[in-house]
Each structure stands twice: as structure tokens, then as C-alpha cells.
Structure 1
Amino acid sequence: MADDAFLRIEGVSKTFGSFQAVRDVSLSVSRGEIFALLGGSGCGKTTLLRMLAGFEKPSTGRIYLDGKDMAGVPPWERPVHMMFQSYALFPHMTVEANIAYGLKHEAISKTDRAARVREMLDLVQLTPFAARKPHQISGGQRQRVALARALARQPKLLLLDEPLAALDKKLREHTQFELMSIQERTGVTFIVVTHDQEEAMTLADRIAVMDRGEVRQVGSPTEIYEFPTNRFVASFIGSITSFEAEVRGRTDGLLRLHIPDFGTEVLARDVPSVGEGQKVTLALRPEKIVISKLPAPGTNAVEGVVKDLAYFGKDSLYRITLPSGALVQAHAVNARRGDEGARVADWDDRVWLSFDPASAIVLEA
């Protein structure tokens, strides 16, 4: 772990009675980074966030912020602000008053306080709505009021607990980019807790995927999606189809794998740590699989029958049954405008599936 990390979490665990919510978590976050804690309900991500805020004390381990040990530092003395999922705005106060409330106990003059509030209103583009109350603005605008109130105190670290969960899909997508723009302009370090994979992939510079209190993998969105290090991360992020496989050797720098469900061998990107005869898992993402009615050339090809088909507009999802009975999911982009004629295949069609060896994910654990 880098010594110059802005936030360092070292061996942190949290136990509630006999239940261990967080297990020996160690992470480092750089200054000005958007870092996401991603996982399902009960994985420990919110508990970890509350320990960063000072609302919970670690059972073991240490948390360092900007070089200072946070042990014994109460929440109100930490250069940290937490933005809650509910936004916690005061309904009887105006937008301007809600933002100013965060500065109530700051040792600054009335003039400076007013200037800070104006600055925050400009930052989140809500100056025209300063005199309105929360029920008179949209959900996305309420989210920005909560963000402005949090940033008004000029925290070194901003903690966001499911910040976009209350917004509809389109507004959530739009607000993600607004959040990124505001973070870039302020330079404040963001820690975002979310269960939404797309949200984490869009917002974060790096992601920590959590499961049952443990961090299973840390990396950039590309690393997490394209190069998962274990079955949990591979299956949690995006869609994937997994098959039991056995390593048969190496050919031209590629792994040769026997796939019982395929009834044949395939080639995959080499994983130096695996050896001949080792049992592994082959994982394939639907968008990496090419579906065609014509026989596919090369080693990595298998024939099947279309069992199910879902049309999503921009693309279609096919569920193909192999002769072994195994199911494979494949995506195909609907590049041509039209209805049935634009699809690659239809129900009960016999098709060929193929994939590039570089697209195949080989997992040991």
C-alpha cells in the first residue's frame, strides 16, 4: 500500500456481537479520486463507510486520513462529510438555507458564509432555485442541494451512500456525469457506496468489489470487468456464462482447455499460474460471443439452438441450448433498422457461436 495514499484503511474489521460485518479490509485511496465500494446488500460497504465517517469504531485495524490516524477522532472533528441516500434536506427551509445550514457551526463571518453559499449554488447550477423549498424542485435538483450542502464545509473526503438510488434511470444517468464534473472542479476525494454496477463503472476511477465483509478485487472499471480475478467478481459484474474446464496444455502462447459442455477443446488467453490437468472455469461475456447461422471457422466454435430471444431495441439477447443441454447467452447489436428481419436469428434456429481466445476469461478461484 502506497505511503502517500490520501486515505489508508489498514486491516479494518467490524464485529456486531457474533456477526462480522467487515473482515480485515485494507485499501488505499488517492487524493482527488472517485473510489466506489460496490456490492450487494449486507456485504459490509455501508458499515465501512460509517467507520470512515466516525459513526462506528473499527473492532480492529486503523484508518488514516491525510496522514492522520482517525482513532478517537469524533465525527464532528473529522474533515469528512457524509451524504445520505435520503438527502436529509429540511422541508421548511429554502434551497439556500439548506446549503447554509452546513456552515452554521463554521468559524467564518456572515459575509464569507453568504459568499460560500453563492459559490455552491453556482457550482451545482441552482442559483435560480435558491428561494425554492425542496418539494418545489425535482429529485435530481434535491440531490444537488444535498451535494452542495456537503461541499460547502470544504471536506477533504466526501462519503456518498447510494447517492443516486432515489432517481429514475434516465435522471440517474444524467446525474452521474454531473457528479463527475463537480468532483473534477472541486478536487474533493469521493467515496461512493453503491449496489449498482453501471453506476460504479461510470462514476469511479477505481472500484472495490465487496462480498460478505471482504474485498474480493480492487481495480479500474476496465480491470474489474475484463480481468476479474475470481468467480464472484466475474459473475457479479455484468452478465456471464461459466463452464467447467480442464487445462490440456498450451499452443502458440494460448491455453488449450477441454470444455465438457462443448464436447471439444477451445483456446483461451494464457494464465501462467495454471498447469496441465488443472480444473478451472471458463467464463464468457454475452457481448464477446459472435452468433451466426453460418458455420464458424476456427477452434472456438460450437453449434446450438436458439431457445429464448429478448429484443431490447439497440441489441438482442439470445439464449442458446448446446447439445449437452448447457445454456449460453449471446448479445447481438441490432445495427439495421427494422423488426424481425433485423435479428441475427429467431426462436428454434440452429446457430453457431464463436469467440476470440482473448475474450475468454479463465478463473482459478
Structure 2
Amino acid sequence: MAADVEPFLRIEGVSKNFGPFQAVKDVNLTIGKGEIFALLGGSGCGKTTLLRMLAGFEEPSSGRIFLDGQDMTGVPPWERPVHMMFQSYALFPHMTVEKNIGYGLKHERMTAAERTDRVRAMLDLVQLTPFAVRKPHQISGGQRQRVALARALARQPKLLLLDEPLAALDKKLREHTQFELMSIQERTGVTFIVVTHDQEEAMTLADRIAVMDRGAVQQVGPPGEVYEHPASRFVASFLGSISQYEARVLRIEGAEALLDVPAFETPVRATAIPGLVEGEVLTLAVRPEKLAIHRHPPGGPNAIPGEIKDLAYFGKDSLYRVTLPSGQLISVHAVNARRGGEARPDWYDKVWVAFEPAAAILLRG
């Protein structure tokens, strides 16, 4: 969390057991006021269980949760300044858009005029004023998502929990809605916690990400930091595509390490990590977009010959799978920005794959 962000939500040693199964294991997180924070992980990693404990639908087996300085232990869901927006949106099909948005205000201490003003403000916030009298089946999936968001924000929660909020949308609409969510969060200043299994969604939306696996938090940080400097093989492989190979340190040369990588059948150079020693065995990882593919031997370090085994052409870019001298594969992501008349590498072409020492990721765990 950035130094200038005020701590707002503290999760201290929280675990959750369902009989002998431990769904969440000793989670410690501090989330700042006004952050968009993502809990990222695959199915069964514990992220939704953690979200439900924040909402009050589940009680921790151990540990405590503090929201804006208040201990949430024993506080029921309806008394928490928290709203949870579910994946299904849970809109009332027989109610209009404006009535759906205003439903949660029925029991608030407000006059009818104040409720009307609040609903109008929410409609304006999510740009749905022209659709106020329509019913959910008469609007698009993206608009239904915004109705659910407006209903959640109408009660002015301190914390908004979003469980896979964009999962029901198609890819193009999901990308557009991500930026709408960010804009709405910036205007309201409400702290958002988003649960998702979609790495691109988490990296686009969130100020920071917590990557979870088997109930435990594996790494926390800004998207760029977690992507570029993963703390483990699991995080590296979960967040984006990556090729990983066993390596042994031959020697340390200043800021770089010379590595023996059997898959390459030639030594390679990588930026050294703290505590690295000669003879240490670890993992060398390289992301596809950090690699360059050449028809002829390039100058510089870390050039490995190979043969193109597979090729996927996406228009603006291509993905190559190259067979290395050892028989192992490496993936290369290349942007199709070639000059006119320059041939693009094709199936079974002999090529060279190269990367800079700084592009190599060394992993111990």
C-alpha cells in the first residue's frame, strides 16, 4: 500500500475452517481508503470465502477484521457499512430500474424526497437516467451490471465487495465496463474489493492485487510489480503466460549471473537476485513478450537457436512455440509491425530466440 494511502481495512490472522477443511489460512492484509483491491485466484482458492467474511455472511474461525477502526467481530451483515454485489446481480425482474436502485433505501432514515433524489443521483452516476422506467429484461447485460452497482452504492457503503462482477459479460463489453467501474469508483471514493479469477481484469481494475492459492495469500502488490517480479513459480505461472526452466548458477559477474540452463544447451545471463550463490539451483522464467524472434543470429547475449513448431496468428500479433535444441518448447509473443516486404517467420523455420538479461526472472520458491 502506498505511503500516502490511509489504512482503512485490516485483516489480521484470519482463517476459516469448514470441518477439517481450511478454506482460508492466516490471511493478513491492509487495504487503503479509496483503493480498488483485487483478490485474484482460481476456483477454490478461498477468495470468495474471505469476501463473505468481510460482508459478515461467514464468521472467521480465528483472527479479526477491522473496518475504519471498528472491530467487525460479531457485527451482523445488516449493521456493517458494507455492501456486497453478487455475480448474478440479483435484480428484481418485476421492478423498474429506478425501483431496483431504490429498494435498499426503504429502511433508511430518509424522507421520500431524499430517497427520490438519491435514486436520481445514482441513475446519473451510472448513466442510466433514460432507462429508469425499464425492467431488467429490457436492458443489456452491461446496463444490468450498472443497475446492480447503483443499488449497491445508493446506501453509501464505506466498503463495496464485488464477487466476479464482470463474469456474465462478453469480452468486449467486459473491457469497456472495467473502465466504467474505475471511473465510478474514482467519483464516489468508495473502497472496492473485487474477487476475480481473471488476471487481465484484476490488472486493469486494481491498484493492488493479492494472489491467493489454497486459502493463503501468495503475494501482494501493484499489478506491475506482481507481474514483473513474481515471488514464486505459482505466482509467475498464474499471472500471465511464462516459460520456466531449471537453471544452475555458474558464477556471479557483478549485477549479473551466468547460468547453466540444460533446456538451452548454452549458458545464459540474467540479472542477479539478492543472496544468489554459485552452484545454486533455481528456476529461470521468461515471459513470451520479453523474447524476440530472429531469422539470423542476433548480436548480444542469450540467443538460442530453435525451430518453429506452432504458430498462432492474431492479426496485430502472433504467438510462436519454438522447439529448443533440448526438445523443450519456449513461447514467443511477437507484434506484427514488420516492414513491407519483410517475411514473417513461419512453421518449421529455423530461428533464433533472444532475450535481455533483465528480462529473465529468477525464482526460488
TM-score normalized by the length of structure 2: 0.97
Q: Tell me the distance in 1 between the aligned counterparts of 2:116 and 2:295.
A: 67
Match of 1:144 among 139, 142, 146: 146
Alpha-carbon offset, residue 293 of structure 1: 0.4
Q: Aligned residue for 2:99?
A: 97
Cα-to-partner distance string for 1:223-266 (whole Å, 9 max, x where unaligned): 11111010000000110000000111212311111101111211
Does residue 264 of structure 1 match 2:266?
yes
Corresponding position of 1:34? 36
Match of 1:280 among 282, 285, 304: 282
1:4, CA displacement in angstroms? 5.2
Deviation at 1:344, TM superposition (A): 2.9
Runs of 4+ in 1 over 2 A off after TM superposition: 1-4, 341-344
SS of aligned partner of 1:264: coil
1:199 to 186, 198, 201: 201
The alpha carbon displacement at 1:139 in A equals: 0.2
Structure 2: runs of 5+ lacking an equivalent: none
Q: Which of 154-163 and 264-273 deviates more?
A: 264-273
Structure 1 segment 22-171 matched on structure 2, within 5 A: 22-171=24-173
Counterparts in 2 of 1:251 and 1:344: CA distance versus 1, 3 Å: farther
| Secondary structure of the structure 2 residue equivalent to 1:35 | strand
**AA partner of residue 359 (structure 1):** A
CA-CA distance at 1:342 after TM superposition: 6.6
In 2 relative to 1, CA 342–113 (structure 1 residues): closer, same or farther, beyond 3 Å?
Answer: farther
Q: Is the 8 A contact 2:301 2:356 kept in 1?
A: no
Letter in 1 for 2:184: I
Query: Please, what is the CA RMSD of the aligned residues?
Result: 1.4
The residue type paired with residue 31 of structure 1 is K
Q: TM-score, normalised by structure 1?
A: 0.97
Task: Indicate conservation of the 8 Å contact 1:303/1:350, yes or no.
Answer: yes
Residue 267 of structure 2: SS of its match in structure 1? strand
Distance 2:343 2:108 in 1: 61
Between the aligned partners of 1:15 and 1:158, the Cα distance in structure 2 is 25
CA contact (8 A) 2:301 2:357 kept: no
**Paired amino acid for 1:329:** S
Amino acid across the alignment from 2:286: L
> Quick one: distance in 1 between partners of 2:315 and 2:144?
32
Cα displacement string for residues 23-63 of structure 1 (whole angstroms, at most 9, x for unaligned residues)? 00000100000000000000000000000000000000000
Amino acid at match of 1:255: A
Give the structure 2 partner of residue 11 of structure 1: 13
2:307 alignment partner AA: V
Contact 2:338 2:344 in 1 (8 A): no
**Unaligned stretches of 5+ residues in structure 1:** none
1:318 to 317, 320, 324: 320
Q: Secondary structure at the match of 1:304?
A: strand
Residue in 2 that maps onto 1:348 = 348
Query: What is the CA-CA distance between 1:269 and the residue it aligns to?
Result: 1.2
The residue aligned with 2:361 is 361
Q: Count the aligned residue pairs.
A: 363
- Letter aligned with residue 54 of structure 1: G
2-side partners of 1:337 and 1:144: how far apart? 44
Look up the equivalent residue of 2:349 and give its one-letter code.
D
Q: How far apart, in 1, do the equivalents of 2:190 and 2:321 lie?
A: 44
Give, in angstroms, the shift of residue 166 of structure 1: 0.2
Alignment check: 8 A CA contact 1:116 1:152 kept: yes
AA aligned opposite 2:347: W
SS of the aligned residue for 2:346 comes to: coil
Name the SS of the counterpart of 2:178 in structure 1.
helix
